[in-house]
Amino acid sequence: MASQPQPAVFLPFHRALIEEEEKRAVLDVLESGWLTTGPRVREFESAFAAYVGARHAVAVNSCTAALHLALAAFDIAEDDEVILPAMTFAATGEVILYRHARPVLVDCLPNSFHVDPCAIAKAITPRTRAIIPVHYAGLACDMDTVLQIALAHGLKVIEDAAHSFPTQYNGKMVGTLGNVTCFSFYATKTLTTGEGGMITTEDAELAERMRILSLHGISRHAWNRYAASGSWKYEILEPGYKYNLTDLQAALGLAQLAKSTSMRDSRARVAHEYTRLLSPLDAFELPPSSPGSSHAWHLYVIQVNPRALRIHRDRVIEELKLRGVGTSVHFIPLHLHPLYQNQLGYRTGQFPNAEERFDRCLSLPIYPHMTQEEIELVAEALRDVAQHFRA
């Protein structure tokens, strides 16, 4: 078989922005001799809470852990139902299964990646305990309506904000809207600690319970039991998890947090350049503008327009790769996966808006330090594909 020609340069879908500050901060922790949860984690929690304007922040080792702890702290259990969008990543649904509860999937709004609040309202039963809205790509979903529905039915709102730091919704920061908000600091996210996550809440008791659950369910001050100020004594209060963040990760997080506003502005610059360069092409639909909200631009997601292009999204991805551009797809809706079909009875065709979005979407490279040449390389590759495969 003839091998495909390799592009001269390849622009990856993602590149983390790690500079001298991050390296210095991690080295300082290494030199301090205290590697795991400690003073840097506490500092990171305070700084993060202050940035989003939340009363409490609990650092954990992933957004998945954050979501799981939130459900545990609300005692979501067997036979409970939790509503979430089909258009999300594995993590949002699997944490509900960890609790032996039922994930109740709902569709997106038409022509949107965001959850349809009417579909949430229709999915409520006497067993519903919570809603997990997802702030897809870096833009908040219709939280006013979600919160109204939750209030009317006495439901908890646990926000999946894995994509949405920093994001504003109608003048308020994501992290201060629902009962609990869960953030991700995974390698590709807008703020990274390699792996990591943060939970924010206004509820002191809930924060305390999640903190205890994040470290084996053992009493509050146990994290420093090897320090001079600590004590060897500890009490196990309930079965917990090993979800704590380390000082090494927190040091990285603090350095990233210090530049998060400028990193967000740089991502917005890339997004605006994409929009400027790509809007003349009818082969692709571009992300919506967001009046009243600010966008974290974790993802820049375009849709292939089948009326203007005779190849499917999958082939577009291959053609872009040949032209040196890495892309990704967010997401294969949950109900299309074997777990959800074989074990939970969901079927293809059930959430047509999510399926329609999935079938045509692809995410372009976007990171703060993308150069103008790199942005133009992506735009030029898309222009070339659009011309070559015009319908």
Ligand X SMILES: Cc1ncc(COP(=O)(O)O)c(C=O)c1O
Closest distance between ligand X and the C-beta of residue 346, in Å? 18
Is residue 189 annotated as part of the catalytic site, yes or no? Answer: yes
- Least separation in angstroms between CB 242 and ligand X: 14
How far is C-alpha 223 from the geometric centre of its chain's CA atoms?
Answer: 27
Closest contact distance (angstroms) between CB of 331 and ligand X is: 7
b/e code 147-157 from CB counts within 10 Å (16+ = b): bebbeeeebbb
Catalytic residue among 23, 156, 172, 189: 189
Q: Which residue number, 70 or 206, has a Cβ lying nearer to ligand X?
A: 70
Tokens 């809207």 sit at which residue?
177
**From the CB of 262, what's the least distance to ligand X, in Å?**
23
Q: Give the residue with the Cβ less far from ligand X, 274 or 331.
A: 331
Closest C-alpha among 322, 318, 327, 319 to residue 365: 327
With a CB cutoff of 8 Å and minimum separation 6, the contacts of 163 are 134, 135, 136, 137, 138, 184, 189, 190, 296, 298, 299
Q: How many helices (H) and strands (E) does the chain have?
A: 13, 12
What dihedral angle (degrees, nearest 10) is formed by the CA atoms of 18, 22, 26, 28? 150
CB of 322 to ligand X, least distance (A): 27
Applying CB under 6 A, which residues contact ligand X?
62-64, 88-89, 91-92, 134, 160, 162-163, 184, 186, 197
CA separation for the pair 214, 218 (Å, rounded): 9
In contact, 216 and 240? CB cutoff 8 Å: yes
Residue 123, C-beta contacts closer than 8 angstroms, at least 6 positions apart: 83, 104, 106
For residues 109 and 237, which CB has a smaller minimum distance to ligand X in the complex? Answer: 109
Residues with a known catalytic role:
189
